[in-house]
């Protein structure tokens, strides 16, 4: 199932991330990239509400869907829960930033680790480590709603 999930991630680039902090939930739409281990990476400013929540409570939920699906079409989507954190190790930040830029075809020469350090770029790289991924694809899996396969990760 991991290959099916990787293929699905490759076909999309926008996710919704749900966070919880300050006694309230929040949801944000973010562009993402991913690695072979199904970790998800995104760029965002620590001053945003979702990043403030992540700092207080790293538990997140993610949804990735195609909003162009017809109402009566066979449904496809991905839902995930896991933990999120701001990446601080220099090599890991550079890796995540390059992965993000490459996947999204971002050609902004000013979007660099060095400019993050100089505070020219306010965004920082974050990593979501999935614990549970539910992949629904009614073209592949003939199961009742709610019975879709779930990949549990350690």
Considering the domain 2-152 in this protein, what is its CATH number? 2.30.110.10
Which helix (H) or strand (E) segment holds residue 55: the answer is helix 49-56
User: Which residues, other chains included, contact 140 with Cβ-Cβ below 8 Å and sequence gap of 6+?
Assistant: 4
- pLDDT, residue 118, reads 93
Q: What's the pTM value of the predicted model, to 2 decimals?
A: 0.93
> Has residue 78 got a pLDDT over 80?
yes
**More confident site: 149 or 105:** 105
Helices (H), 68-134: 90-104, 113-117
Name the least confident of 21-35, 52-66, 109-123, 132-146: 132-146
């Amino acid at each position: 199932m991991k290959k099916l999930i990787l293929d699905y991630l490759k076909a999309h680039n926008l996710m919704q991330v749900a966070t919880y902090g300050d006694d309230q939930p929040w949801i944000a739409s973010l562009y993402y990239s991913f690695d072979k281990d199904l970790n998800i990476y995104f760029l965002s400013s620590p001053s945003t509400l979702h990043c403030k929540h992540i700092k207080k409570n790293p538990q997140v939920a993610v949804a990735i869907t195609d909003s162009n699906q017809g109402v009566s079409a066979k449904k496809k989507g991905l839902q995930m829960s896991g933990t999120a954190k701001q990446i601080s190790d220099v090599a890991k930040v550079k890796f995540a930033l390059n992965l993000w830029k490459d996947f999204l075809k971002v050609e902004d020469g000013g979007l660099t680790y060095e400019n993050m350090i100089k505070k020219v770029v306010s965004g920082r790289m974050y990593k979501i480590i999935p614990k549970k991924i539910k992949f629904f694809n009614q073209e592949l899996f003939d199961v009742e709603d709610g019975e879709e396969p779930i990949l549990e990760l350690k």
